[in-house]
A and B are shown apart, each in its own frame.
Chain A
Amino acid sequence: MKYVDEFRDPELITKAAEEVRRLADPNRHYRLMEVCGGHTHAIYRFGLKDVLPANIELIHGPGCPVCVLPMGRIDDALSIATDSNVIFAAFGDMMRVPGTHGSPLEHKARGMDVRIVYSPTDAIKLAKMNPQKHVMFFAIGFETTAPSTALTLQRAKAEGLHNFSVFCNHVTIIPAIRAILDSPDMRLDGFIGPGHVSTVIGCRPYEWIARNERKPIVVCGFEPLDLLQSIVMLLTQLKKGEAEVENQYKRVVPWEGNRAALRAMAEIFELRPYFEWRGLGFISQSALRIREPYAEWDAEQRFNVPGIRVTDPKAAQCGEVLKGVLKPAQCKLFGRECTPENPVGALMVSSEGSCAAYYNYEHRKAALVTSLS
């Protein structure tokens, strides 16, 4: 395992960790939510929890697109692809995600034409290489990937590519944060804000969290030092009783975001009135659908979609884990019926899901502890 001595500057890490301990009021319990699944992954991978004082609790947020996607959406898309004329193209991350009758990978084993793509533009290439077939790209992700899908749709239209469509599952992060803050059993002190999503949306969309909810939020990078510095910034604000939006990840995230990406999204997508999130239920105006001028390239408008709804198994407590009410290991199925090899809930499927991250890393006590103590 590679830990502290391979970090950019172990001394800075040690200093930041000391600063965290100095700022944390021992009489207070801090609940900080990292919104982004990439941060969850990094926190476990780095063993960061072991560096933090026990009264700083990191709650894993809803920012893993695979984890929040309801199973019914996978079923819907797979039902379109039962037509032997359709090629189902998706990111590798989707391949093992269970649908009611199996994952895309299992459908492939039963004869469905399922392909992994690394970029939505690969799906366009597939369509050109298979002119007699229809390629349906299963689009997923927050604002990090939605602009790429938007440009891909622009290109499909511009090139008059008629055997290509997008099954759009793009969601937006702000309504999810709002839903979490509105949830009655949730109490949070502040947010570690998403890094890459903010590259696109910038920092302004978080201002209501600071202004109206009086919670500090710090947009954060993905190195261990970034995470520790962001926690220092949050604790500093909390100590002063402030609530501001701060940008720790300035080297990548401009305050105003990426205007070209936002323009592309605005041209292609509109907000759905509501969308179901796994674990969080229906959230209004929380997802994107393809606008009418691009209807020909919208799989949901082009094909018959059954609109399947699947409730999670009762015993699985994905919702509580997703909202941070329960820790992964407190779920009745964790590590028994539900493992990364045989996931029941989506949080166990993606490596950025908090259950899979917890399962994979929690047992490895990072050398960070020993090298820092």
Chain B
Amino acid sequence: MSAADEIEIPTGACHMCLAIPGKVIEVAADDPTSALVDVVGMRRRVNLGLLEDDRPVPGDWVLIHVGFAMSKISEADALDQMRTLEILGECEAAVQEVRGLGLEEIEEKQAP
């Protein structure tokens, strides 16, 4: 619980309003609303429940708000969105958001 006990206040943009692009890696076999998503070079579970009318498949890009995929977007738009986050100085905020509380199992890997 150490991560949760010491509070680090995220800086920069309003987190709840951030839209972070991610690439769907794998949809859970036992739960179609749960996917492993590659987000800013890390992998975390993202909820796909709000896209049930148009379910993303591995390889699709999505925009994520507070841990939920909200829309499907093209790869080009996803990369643009990353650049926007960067220019807005929100990359750090996005990384914090993806790391979350340490409640998720995050796989970090080399950024592409």
Binding site for B on A (CB under 8 A): 2-3, 6-8, 36-38, 41-42, 45-46, 64-66, 91-93, 95-96, 105, 108, 114-122, 125-126, 129, 140-141, 144-145, 147-148, 151, 196, 199-200, 222-224, 251-254, 258-261, 264, 350-352
Contact = CB atoms under 8 A, between A and B. Distances in A.
Interface in B58-89: 63, 65-68, 70-71, 73-74, 77, 80, 83-84, 86-89
A71 B77 CA distance: 38
Interface in B79-112: 80, 83-84, 86-89, 96-97, 100-101, 103-104
B50 A65 contact: no
B23 to A, nearest CB: 16
B68 A147 contact: yes
A196 B19 contact: yes
Interface in B1-16: 1, 4, 7-10, 12-16
A45 B89 contact: yes
B7 A8 contact: no
Contact of B71 (A95, A122, A258, A259): A258
B97 A351 contact: no
Closest 6 CB pairs of A and B: A119-B67, A92-B10, A118-B100, A148-B68, A352-B14, A125-B103
28 contacts: A6-B83, A6-B87, A38-B13, A38-B17, A42-B88, A64-B14, A92-B9, A93-B15, A115-B7, A116-B4, A116-B10, A118-B97, A119-B47, A121-B67, A122-B67, A122-B104, A126-B4, A144-B70, A148-B65, A222-B19, A224-B87, A251-B77, A252-B19, A252-B77, A260-B53, A261-B70, A350-B14, A352-B17
B53 A144 contact: no
Contacts of A7: 87
- What is the size category of the interface that chain B forms with chain A? 35 or more
B30 interface: no
Nearest to B5: A115
Contacts of A95: 7, 9
Nearest to A115: B4
A222 B67 CA distance: 20
A151 B66 CA distance: 12
Contact of B16 (A8, A145, A199): A145
Contacts of B87: 2-3, 6-7, 45-46, 223-224
Contact of A148 (B19, B51, B67): B67
Nearest to A253: B71
Nearest to B88: A45
A363 B61 CA distance: 37
A265 to B, nearest CB: 10
B49 interface: yes
Contacts of A6: 83, 86-87
Interface of B: 1, 4, 7-10, 12-17, 19, 47, 49-53, 63, 65-68, 70-71, 73-74, 77, 80, 83-84, 86-89, 96-97, 100-101, 103-104
Contacts of B96: 92, 118
A371 B105 CA distance: 45
A45 B1 CA distance: 36
B80 A8 contact: yes
Contact of B70 (A65, A108, A120, A200): A200
Contacts of B53: 258-260
B7 A141 contact: no
Interface centre among B9, B63, B83 (most CB of A within 10 A): B9
A199 B73 CA distance: 11
B16 A141 contact: yes
Given A6-B87, A7-B87, A252-B71, A147 B50 contact: yes
Contacts of B71: 199, 252-254, 258
A115 B6 CA distance: 9
Contacts of B4: 115-116, 126
B17 A37 contact: yes
